[in-house]
A and B are shown apart, each in its own frame.
Chain A
Amino acid sequence: MKIVAVTACPTGIAHTYMAQEAIEKECRARGYEVKVETQGGMGIENELEQEEVDNADLVILAVAIGIEGEERFDEKIDEGKVLQIEPQEAIKNPSQVIDNAERL
């Protein structure tokens, strides 16, 4: 299983990075490949290439604001493989979030 995700929150100080950590931890615990791009106070980090998005089984957008490069996910959205959630959901209940993503 390959999962890619983007996390972003209004101030980009804490939630963005906690959501990243929560998603990475949960995926690693399940033995999944995971890459999480953060769009926060430090700009875009760990940026996802189009190819990485295309090759992913699932996409999680844990974002509370509009993000840069949303069009990268258009195709995955059409395929119904994108889970959109608030960053704090990923922080609070990472395992439930991944479960929900897997049901897509």
Chain B
Amino acid sequence: MKTKTKKNSFKIGSLWAGPSALMLLCLSLIPLAMLLLFSFMDGNITNGVFPGWTIENFQKMFSSNVFSKLMAKSLGIGALVTVICILISYPMAWGMAKAAKPHNRSMLMMLIILPFFTSQLLLIYAMMMILQSGGILMTLLGALGITTDGTSILYTPKAVILVLVYEYLPYMVLCLYTSLESIGDNLVQASRVLGAGTFRTFINVVFPMSIPGLLSGILLVMVPVTGSFAESALVGGPNGMMVGSLINSQYNTVLNMGYGASLSCVFLIILSIIMAVVRMLVNLAERRIGGETE
């Protein structure tokens, strides 16, 4: 796309973007397109030799219910984590944008982006330390008599959800903060003066204006959460498998890369469809709510 010399608007200077465009083509677009091809591959590539074609991968995927079960479970976890993140982070972001003192805002902002700059694995590890039996939280709960000694939610699906919420909460806060911050105080003031209570002001003024941030937050949280496998491998225990774990196992334990490719392909397609639907729904909601305020 970068070298359309036939257009007279082409400037020689845009060639500077050539290396990047080439990299994107070779390292992102071509591998993704090839993934579709590889999903019809029978087994593994050995020494650069392609093993041949098959449609068995897809038959296997749709005949056994392992994939569909894990896919549904991952989507459920993705949706649940996203909803929990929204519920926790909406008031947080609102507080940061409007209720916090302006000179504190920059510090709060730094505290929110610190987790981005910290390794994902360290965040998981930090949560594991809190949750481990005999660790801080469990000792405390044990001392209060809430749990019996030596039990822990670590290595259960609950722990996976907790860790994912912990990891992705800052993304949601950041996205919502950006939208909420741009709402003018006058607007909220006007709504109040005209007699709307806190709740009506929220529904009619604040929420519609935060929808763009909400949308990018949902996309930023739901996509990686649904595709995660490190969390379930580390804190999920035997019942913590997600669709990411299934794909991962094709590359690290079972070694059936063709099947792995078809799994990732279908996974990516389902994810894209869901994201498109989410985008559409949110846009619809935006128009609906926007219409009511007239």
Do they bind each other? no
